[in-house]
Chains A and B, each alone.
Chain A
């Protein structure tokens, strides 16, 4: 996954309310903004805004049925972000390997 896409995921997750929204979505099949607003200390309009940000980052998908829009969690970016973090460990491993090599060459 590209750094930009991971960046969008992290930017979306940086907000505690959006993380709460994700937790609520993980618990249910597909919910409306009004249903989510009942479990959050914010208005339905504010929930909709957060859902739009999450949708932009690919973390939720919206599905219209009749007059309502239902939102569902799409976990793919979370998995990618998780792998990105795993990669942080791999990066340190190669940095430290270079450091050990450098130490051997030093007088």
Chain B
């Protein structure tokens, strides 16, 4: 298990348009969340809301137009777990590649190989759907 999540896609947009798509509140509301407020400066506030009532608060960390925007947010309400999301834009053959990396989940792989082994053994015995594959690998 790694403590980060990476996903990417290629947008049919030039980099400046792609930059707006990932930083402009109105455009973010088309794909990130139902309501988005973002103060696009380092240290600026980020607030996203979903129609089901969930909310996330965050802070903008880095604004390097039109290449990279980085923010921190709290993915679990009321829990002191803060993850960092970096959205990077790269020119691609057919447009602009968007690479999202979310890091900061390292409190989970409870560090030791033993803890992971116990968890894996337990999942196996419990024959959960996850039993077919290891659920934790020591970092």
Contacts and interface: CB of A to CB of B under 8 A. Distances in A.
Interface of A: 3, 6-7, 10-11, 13-14, 19, 22-23, 26-27, 73, 75-76, 78-79, 81-83, 85, 88-89, 92-93, 95-104, 106
A29 B54 CA distance: 39
Contacts, number: 125
B76 A100 contact: no
A101 to B, nearest CB: 8
Most A CB within 10 A of own CB, among B1, B111, B115, B130: B115
B128 interface: yes
Given A6-B76, A79-B128, A26 B32 contact: no
A83 to B, nearest CB: 7
Interface in B94-139: 95, 98, 100, 102, 105, 107-108, 110-112, 114-115, 117-119, 122-123, 126, 128, 130, 135-136
Given A79-B128, A97-B9, A99-B31, A23 B135 contact: no
B96 to A, nearest CB: 9
Given A13-B108, A76-B126, 10 more contacts: A11-B80, A27-B114, A75-B115, A78-B108, A78-B110, A78-B136, A79-B130, A95-B31, A96-B8, A97-B9
Interface of B: 1, 5, 7-13, 17-18, 21-22, 27, 30-32, 54, 75-81, 95, 98, 100, 102, 105, 107-108, 110-112, 114-115, 117-119, 122-123, 126, 128, 130, 135-136
B100 A92 contact: yes
